[in-house]
Structure 1
Amino acid sequence: MAKLEPYKGDYYLWQYVPSLGAAVFFILLFLGATITHFIKLTRSRARFCIPFAIGGIFEVVGYAARGWAHNNTGSIMPYSMQSVFILLGPVLFAASVYMTLGRIIRNTGAEHHALIPIRWLTKTFVMGDVVSFMVQGGAAGLMVSGSSANLGRSIVIVGLLIQVIMFGFFVVTSLVFQIRMQRHPTPGAWDGRVDWRTHLHLLYGVSFLIMVRSIFRVAEYVLGNDGYPLTHEWTLYVFDGSLMWLSMLFWIIWHPGKLSRPDMDLEMTGLRQPGGNM
């Protein structure tokens, strides 16, 4: 029977025995969503959706590690794996969200409506996302060592706050673009193939879910090991796992793959193609 075991001396990695049933359930949810994302990715060849699909892999690995930890609460490996992968999966979701806005603006020919010059728009948000990824990823390693755990949590909070701030700025940028487009629509705004309003609503919805999840994780780390979130497992599944699975589901239903165009395939790297706008 699974029981709570110390990692070293009287230091416990977990405040409860992780639920095996909940972990398996979410593994199946994220596995199904991730497979569907890769199928859609293959069909649409929308490279800006690659980070979202990879984020799904991170979620699957993270919850698999939680299942592994059920009978290994004193082992550092499953604890560190679930901590890192579940923490970083949404950062990859965010990268696709940011790049999708750039595709919407380019496909509608509305670069002049962008709050940030289009050549910097995607780079600005993705670089913020990379910084958040690196900060959280580096700090996650510190959290699993007893002596540096508090420092690691503090750095993770900084990384999460960077993500929340960037999302807030992103939503403002998207709203400004939408207002300007509604007041002065471009010819591309009437192209039914783009359906820019639906794609913007998708970005708002997914951004909201990731922001709520990030705010929850900030509260989780601020309250510490004795706080309610880290002593009650259900909070992670409700305010992180469920919200991120819904993000993947929304992306599947309103998949922005139609925004993919050959002259924009290298947007992530900022390279220019012949006849393109990069």
Structure 2
Amino acid sequence: MTSSTYVLYQYTPSLVAAVVFATLFLLTTTVHLWQRILQIIGYEARAVSHFHTTSTTLYALQTLLVLLVPTLYAASIYRVLGRVIKPLWGGHLSYVPVKYITFIFVMGGALSFILQGAGGGVMRSNGSADLLVVGQWIIVAGLCVQLVFFGAFIITSICLHCRITQSPTQEAKDSINISGLFSRDWRGLVFALYAASVLILIRSIYRTIESSELPDG
């Protein structure tokens, strides 16, 4: 490392602040990496299942991990809406109290996560065909819960968007920033939220139909 007597800084870099922020970024990166790893393991288990079609462990593992991880993505989306509303002071325009939005939908997501996890656990507990069917139906119940809460969330988001567009708060007006063809303000974030929500909703509908048809579907 090159050094000289010339001091490059007008201050002494903070050791504590640098370590704290490095740790925070490491934690968030680890969380995202963990989600990706679970997806990777799920699809790897599915690939290995090509050669071991009688393995209930591989069957349950690929089903569970591929199903569960998007629930974690949904939980992060639930939090975004509340973070958008608060700075705009648009809480009075929401049909669901802002302070409960994240809690209500994350709890719904948690219930869905638990049910799907329980279904996967039942599928792994024994190699019998009957338990595989029971586990599959528990997973279907979890997916249905996810559909209900996610559908309600999308409706809540659309209603809030329409109301704040029709009766914008001063904060919403002041934050409008259009750069090129795209808005670089809360509206762009809301449309990104819609895009992610629609993709997860399509995936949830597909998985619900797929799971409810069982192996013979």
1:157/1:221 contact within 8 Å kept: yes
Whole-angstrom distance in 2 between the partners of 1:201 and 1:50 = 27
| Offset at residue 52 of structure 1 (A) | 6.1
| Offset at residue 134 of structure 1 (A) | 0.2
Whole-angstrom distance in 2 between the partners of 1:139 and 1:113 = 39
Q: Deviations over 1:225-245 (max 9, x none)?
A: 111xxxxxxxxxxxxxxxxxx
Closer, same or farther: CA 50–197 of 1 in aligned 2, 3 Å: farther
Ranges in structure 2 where 5+ consecutive residues have no aligned partner: 1-23, 178-183
User: What residue identity is the alignment partner of 1:178?
Assistant: H
1:199 to 189, 203, 213: 189
User: What residue identity is the alignment partner of 1:78?
Assistant: L
| Offset at residue 74 of structure 1 (A) | 2.9
Q: Does 1:104 align with 2:73?
A: no
1:56-205 equivalent positions in 2, closer than 5 A? 56-144=36-124, 145=126, 146=128, 147-189=130-172, 190-192=174-176, 195-205=185-195
Larger Rg: 2
Ranges in structure 1 where 5+ consecutive residues have no aligned partner: 1-40, 228-278
| Offset at residue 192 of structure 1 (A) | 4.7
Q: Give the root-mean-square deviation of aligned CA atoms.
A: 2.4
User: What residue identity is the alignment partner of 2:79?
Assistant: M
TM-score, scaled to structure 1: 0.60
1:133/1:159 contact within 8 Å kept: yes
User: What residue identity is the alignment partner of 1:151?
Assistant: V
Whole-angstrom distance in 2 between the partners of 1:53 and 1:112 = 37
Whole-angstrom distance in 2 between the partners of 1:156 and 1:51 = 24
1:246-265 equivalent positions in 2, closer than 5 A? none
| Offset at residue 108 of structure 1 (A) | 1.8
Closer, same or farther: CA 85–218 of 1 in aligned 2, 3 Å: same
Whole-angstrom distance in 2 between the partners of 1:75 and 1:131 = 28
Closer, same or farther: CA 131–50 of 1 in aligned 2, 3 Å: farther
Closer, same or farther: CA 88–67 of 1 in aligned 2, 3 Å: same
User: What residue identity is the alignment partner of 1:109?
Assistant: W
Aligned to 1:11: none
1:51/1:92 contact within 8 Å kept: no
Q: Share of identical aligned residues, percent? A: 35
TM-score, scaled to structure 2: 0.76
Q: Deviations over 1:164-211 (max 9, x none)?
A: 111110011101111111122123213257711111111111111111
| Offset at residue 215 of structure 1 (A) | 1.2
Q: Deviations over 1:1-46 (max 9, x none)?
A: xxxxxxxxxxxxxxxxxxxxxxxxxxxxxxxxxxxxxxxx939x9x
Whole-angstrom distance in 2 between the partners of 1:151 and 1:205 = 34
User: What residue identity is the alignment partner of 1:204?
Assistant: Y
| Offset at residue 73 of structure 1 (A) | 2.7
Closer, same or farther: CA 206–108 of 1 in aligned 2, 3 Å: same
2:56/2:123 contact within 8 Å kept: no
Dislocated runs of 4+, deviation >3 Å? 49-55
